[in-house]
Chains A and B, each alone.
Chain A
């Protein structure tokens, strides 16, 4: 009897959460202001009640309303993981990790989801690992502060000749930090130009050429994190641990968000459009990434001997 009551209450609760989420979604669609705290709390309660679908919808409603916080992506990743959608869980964890690179919870869950999917994290060189220890915003903040210190040290060296030697040493140190911050920023900037992507389907076959009958180079489990380096028609060129191959665009989910302001290229028409969106979502804007095109075409026409 108690079990039956508990089940009824759970169902009633699930329905109630579902209605609440539906109301929030409707309000969002109607342009009404969304209370992010309320929606976040509802999503959490839905998750706790086992209503993973409701939780996913609520977290995605938050993202759709423009509240793109790492907490939302992390929790959405958890909901996706529980719902069995490992590739999307990996994608959400990875995006959350972009904003919070040193968050142990996000890193642990990402690692766990990759393990469950039978995939591994892409191996990064040591400098790139260091660059990824801080987020883009953190590198910019450090660079700005170091730039200010560099300016103050140089100005003081000019104004106070007696202390010029230690001040120039301090300026050199600040300059080094500025360079390091520029390197870190460039690493993140590289992700705009050549974003990472998560393989959607199990056993995706990376081929040597963007042809359906081209030889298979290697096979990827769902959830693998690869780097997109180019495209050719409906095919994308990927790199994983130094190996290159071609996958169909529909087989990967690019890790880009509309919120990234630098993730845009001016098109000849004057509008701006992230090339990834143009490729993956069929947007009407012009694909405009010549550096990608150059990399993707096998140019052997004029070898210099």
Chain B
């Protein structure tokens, strides 16, 4: 099949008086064989966030499906070209000539006219057999195959979905839509082994899926479903790369979406409808013991022990086995008579064979003969509806003779015994009456009264704990950081050392001890800048401090550092006369100002 590779484009000047909004439509190719797909792209330029054009989903023998949009940006000659592209797949289903459009497309406040695009669909030639295919159904179709189309309520049957296809590749993932939501209960879908079938002389690959269906209510149900599957088609917009060539033989690689030489295209295939007429169970001839079992069953009952004393328990074991709605089967309902105390029937075993069609249930019921007069258990009856014979069947087992001895003296009527024997523990003696009343509670609580965990503290408790842990974690991290970085520790210590030194200096000034005052002043300067700059005491010199402060430090600050150091040295070592010395309060205030300014510097 030859493809048109040229762009069959209908570029029309849809420029409006307002703006540079243009719409360009491409369809490639314009001639298709049945079963082939073309790509329709609508390119919109100059509009902000345009909506998808209203392309119909079906035109004649074409099925059109929106596959997505993409924003395209190109640079040509230094100019940017931005466009929104809406993509559609056009699937040819029938032979003929069809036209898509004309369409009216509202975009950017204007209504654009998209002209009609002609498509010609020709019959496909099968290269192998030379057949001509003029319908999509010749390529792929799906149909139901029901074991029964007129079942009774409760009669389970197999429903098979068969998907037949030829000359296409299918992705494994499928989805089924549109099954009836009520009336029929569908079991788990299970894929059966595939195969090949011929239909109208054509050979098809067939995939089959089976579900066990249980009719829940009488009525007519139309299985008119749609199957969403994905065709694996060869990429058209991307040439095979070196990577593709290298990995082409790697198992599964060509099927990976986004990789390889194929891509997945969704396709909805209608499943040929099927009507299931569910018939109600006949009321005529329905036995009283019928409890809903539909199918073909066997029933047996065993009583043990048959020799016992009055007041001792015996077990009736009822086995139901067969094909049918075992889920709907309940234990046979029967009355052992007044001579027995009866407990609820328990489901002791339940299972099915490998195919799931034949299943088995075992029920057990505990009975206690009240006295030795209870020498026989009446017959047990199990009935079911046979849908093949369309008649009710009744299976009866018994009666069962018993040898009941009188109860041993002093045992009275016997204890109350639990009806559900616990595994490994035998029957449980429970007592013979209820326990007496309880005294009033120690504290009455009103219904609306909040409990402790509903009060504010209780509600906040988890958050308090989390906060405590967060604080501890923060402290631990801080401690670790300080342990790794002694410079940081000293820097953080500098203000505290300065405050301590200032307190000493202030105390010395109040006592009039000039020597101690200047010693404290000196110590303050050395401690502060030593910690701040991580310098040993002997290296704390004005020039070093000014140098570390860098060029960002104000010149006045540098002068003040030098001056204060000089003042301290003069007072401590030169022994200047008291009257020539500066006022100590002023010196102290200058030092405070210097320290405040130093804290603001970027070191």
Contacts and interface: CB of A to CB of B under 8 A. Distances in A.
Contact of A215 (B180, B181, B328): B328
Given A115-B430, A215-B153, A216-B330, A75 B444 contact: no
B447 A259 contact: yes
B440 A40 contact: yes
Given A67-B445, A144-B458, A151 B469 contact: yes
A297 B347 CA distance: 27
Interface in A95-141: 105, 108-109, 111-113, 115-116, 118-121, 123, 137, 140-141
A206 to B, nearest CB: 9
Interface string A201-219: 0000000110101111111
Contacts, number: 181
B217 A211 contact: yes
Given A71-B441, A108-B431, A302-B175, A208 B328 contact: yes
Contacts of B458: 144
B203 interface: no
Interface in B427-463: 430-431, 433-441, 444-448, 451, 453-454, 458, 461-462
Contact of B438 (A74, A140, A213, A297): A74
Interface in B297-327: 325, 327
B179 A300 contact: yes
Interface string A138-164: 001100100110111011101101000
Contacts of B445: 67-69
B189 interface: yes
Interface of A: 36-37, 40-41, 44, 47, 66-71, 74-75, 78, 81, 105, 108-109, 111-113, 115-116, 118-121, 123, 137, 140-141, 144, 147-148, 150-152, 154-156, 158-159, 161, 208-209, 211, 213-219, 221, 241, 257-259, 261, 297-305
Contacts of A115: 343, 416-419, 430
B179 A303 contact: yes
Contacts of B420: 120-121, 123
B472 interface: yes
A156 B465 CA distance: 12
Contacts of B418: 111, 115, 120
Contact of B465 (A148, A161, A208, A298): A148
Interface of B: 153-154, 161, 173-182, 184-186, 189, 191, 209, 211, 216-218, 280, 291-292, 294, 325, 327-328, 330-331, 333, 342-344, 346-347, 416-420, 430-431, 433-441, 444-448, 451, 453-454, 458, 461-462, 465-466, 468-469, 471-473, 475-476
Contacts of B454: 261
A214 B217 contact: yes
B280 to A, nearest CB: 8
B550 to A, nearest CB: 38
Contacts of A78: 434, 436-437
Contact of A300 (B175, B181, B471): B181
29 contacts: A41-B440, A69-B444, A71-B440, A105-B435, A108-B430, A108-B435, A112-B434, A118-B343, A123-B420, A137-B453, A140-B453, A144-B453, A147-B462, A155-B468, A158-B472, A208-B327, A211-B217, A214-B217, A215-B294, A216-B291, A219-B291, A257-B447, A300-B184, A301-B179, A302-B175, A302-B176, A303-B179, A303-B186, A304-B173
A37 B440 contact: yes
Contacts of A40: 440
Contacts of A70: 441
A298 B476 contact: no
Please provide the 3 A-B residue pairs with the shortest distance between their CB atoms, ordered closest to farther. A151-B465, A155-B472, A66-B447
A299 B472 contact: no
Contact of A75 (B280, B327, B437, B473): B437
Given A118-B342, A214-B217, A216-B292, 7 more contacts: A47-B437, A112-B433, A148-B461, A215-B292, A219-B291, A257-B447, A305-B209
A305 B176 contact: yes
B294 to A, nearest CB: 8
A208 B218 CA distance: 13
Contact of B216 (A113, A209, A303): A209
Given A137-B451, A154-B472, A217-B327, A119 B344 contact: yes
A208 B462 contact: no
A202 to B, nearest CB: 12
Given A144-B461, A301-B177, A158 B476 contact: yes
Contacts of B465: 147-148, 150-151
A298 B182 contact: yes
Contacts of A111: 418, 430
Contacts of A209: 182, 216-217
Contacts of A208: 185, 216, 327-328
A71 B186 contact: no
A85 B245 CA distance: 81
Contacts of B333: 219
Contacts of A44: 437
A221 B473 CA distance: 60
B330 A258 contact: no
Given A115-B416, A118-B343, A159-B476, A305 B330 contact: no
Contacts of A119: 344
B330 A217 contact: yes
Contacts of A213: 217-218, 280
A123 B418 CA distance: 14
B305 to A, nearest CB: 22
B181 A297 contact: yes
Contacts of A36: 440, 444
Given A71-B439, A78-B437, A159 B472 contact: yes
A195 to B, nearest CB: 17
Contacts of B476: 158-159, 161
A128 to B, nearest CB: 16
A114 to B, nearest CB: 9
Contacts of B218: 213
A304 B186 CA distance: 12
A71 B472 contact: no
Given A115-B418, A120-B420, A71 B343 contact: no
Contacts of B173: 304
Contacts of B328: 208, 215-217
Contacts of B331: 218
B59 to A, nearest CB: 28
Contact of B175 (A156, A258, A305): A305
B466 to A, nearest CB: 7
Given A108-B435, A112-B416, A215 B216 contact: yes
A299 B181 contact: yes
Contacts of A116: 416
B177 A305 contact: no
A144 B439 CA distance: 30
